Amino acid sequence: MVELSVVVPIYNEKENLYHLHEAITAALKGHIESYEIVLVNDGSTDGSANIINELAAKDPAVKGIHFERNCGQTAAIYCGIKRAEGKYIASIDGDLQTDPGDILILMKYMENYDFANGMRVKRRDTLVKKISSKVGNGVRNWITGDNIQDTGCPMKVFKREVAETFFLFEGFHRFLPTIARMNGFKVTEVPVRHRERMYGKSKYGVLNRAFVGLMDAIVIGWLRKRMIRYQVREEVR
């Protein structure tokens, strides 16, 4: 079995792809016994598909997956997780605002935890985005009953056993640590670095996430309250 799978959803990131591959490779080579880089092309229209194919042809560690059309970030992450072959799975975004080198930091927590969620420090975002993220995280935690400070951080590492319990609906990629905890796994948050975007622009604005994020949080909160929990005292045959 591959030790680590790095899942990256890709949507119109052609300027970043070579840098992304180089950064992940530099971070993992010589430190992880075996790894794969799973690039999930979410219906890109800018030529990202050709670059993914080129990287896969040159590097056996790269696995390219292409959607027929744009299906959204949750679908891309979910597909990548389900196609991943690693004992551990890491997820990051393709914009390189989080540093692939931090994957190794989160990996250390797999000895005592099942899921390590990145927590971005010194965020290199606009003031509006910082405030909206802080408010959004607070509202989501209040509704879901969780205490994750940066649930939207794309940097995450978790065990295969956690991935096998995921069944995601649209928007649920924002709640992976909460869902993992709901499913009985040990979750922690770990500070990670954050950088300015090198190329391209964010595909997700503040306003187009606010309302749907609130609705998703309400659904997660409802599911959490409806969870069935029991302990078997004894089984007799």
- The answer as to whether 224 is a domain residue is no
**What are the angstrom distances between the C-alpha of 90 and each of 57, 61, 85, 155, 231?**
22, 14, 11, 7, 31
Range of the domain at 184: 2-125+150-198
Write down the residue that tokens 């978790």 correspond to: 158
- The answer as to whether 162 is a domain residue is yes
Q: Answer yes or no: are the C-beta atoms of 187 and 177 closer than 8 Å.
A: yes
**pTM attached to this predicted model:** 0.82
CB neighbour burial string for 11-42, b if at least 16 within 10 angstroms, e if fewer: bbbbbbbeebbebbbebbeeebeebbbbbbbb
Q: Answer yes or no: are the C-beta atoms of 118 and 92 closer than 8 Å.
A: no
- The answer as to whether 237 is a domain residue is no
Nearest partner of 46 among 208, 216, 201, judged by Cα: 201
Residues whose CB falls within 8 Å of the CB of residue 50, separated by 6 or more in sequence, listed in order: none
What 8-state DSSP symbol labels residue 108?
A: G
- Res 141: pLDDT: 55
- The answer as to whether 25 is a domain residue is yes
Q: Answer yes or no: are the C-beta atoms of 216 and 175 closer than 8 Å.
A: yes
Cα gap 225→64, rounded to integer Å: 38
Listed as ranges, residues in the chain with pLDDT below 50 are 127-128, 131, 135, 205-207, 211
CATH number at residue 161: 3.90.550.10
Chain mean position to CA 95? 13
- Res 228: pLDDT: 66
- Res 146: pLDDT: 62
Digit-coded pLDDT (tens) for 33-50: 999 999 999 999 999 999
- The answer as to whether 207 is a domain residue is no
Task: Specify the number of domains making up the chain.
Answer: 1
- The answer as to whether 218 is a domain residue is no
- The answer as to whether 159 is a domain residue is yes
Write down the residue that tokens 């400070």 correspond to: 149
- The answer as to whether 208 is a domain residue is no
- Res 66: pLDDT: 97
Write down the residue that tokens 């990051």 correspond to: 92
- Res 131: pLDDT: 45
Digit-coded pLDDT (tens) for 138-171: 555 555 556 666 877 899 999 999 999 998 877 7
Which H helix or E strand runs over 191? Answer: strand 187-192
Chain mean position to CA 182? 17
